Homo-oligomer: A and B are copies of this chain.
Amino acid sequence: MARVTAAQRREQDAGAGYNAFVEACPSRKLLDRISNKWVALILAALGSDDAHQPDSACAGGPRAMRYSELARLLAGVSQKMLTQTLRSLERDGLVTRTVVPTVPVTVSYELTDLGLSLYGMMRGLKAWAEAHMDDVLAHREAYDTRLA
């Protein structure tokens, strides 16, 4: 079942790096991790300031956000998914987690340079979904009535 085309094997052997088309390639698992609703929303949130405060005077740049801020912005996310996703992002080096030992404790998250390099695409993904929602809705209706 782990079939590989000659082209794929060639690319792998050439040391060209990774190829997500190949089943066993670690980059496929990574692609799976980052292809995730919560990852997209968290990165989109951490990357742009004004996503949270449209009226804010400061320009929109990468910004540290607190756990509760994220929870509020990403409406409907469970603590479990939020914590779990943030952990995996931290482990992968996409965000930093900073604990300030106040009482109660204060925890903030911020994009790393690596995370910032992914932010652009995630922001784009979110923007695409919002921009083409009507298009997609229209296509769905057409598709569904066609089958009726």
Contact = CB atoms under 8 A, between A and B. Distances in A.
Interface in A36-95: 36-37, 39-41, 44-45, 51-55, 72-76, 90-93
Contact of A40 (B3, B23, B35, B55): B35
A27 B133 contact: yes
Is the interface on chain A under 10, 10 to 19, 20 to 34, or 35 or more residues?
Answer: 35 or more
Contacts of A31: 37, 40-41, 125-126, 129
25 contacts: A1-B76, A2-B76, A5-B73, A7-B52, A7-B53, A8-B73, A17-B133, A20-B41, A20-B44, A21-B51, A21-B73, A23-B76, A27-B129, A27-B130, A27-B133, A28-B37, A31-B37, A31-B40, A31-B41, A90-B143, A93-B138, A117-B132, A118-B132, A121-B128, A124-B124
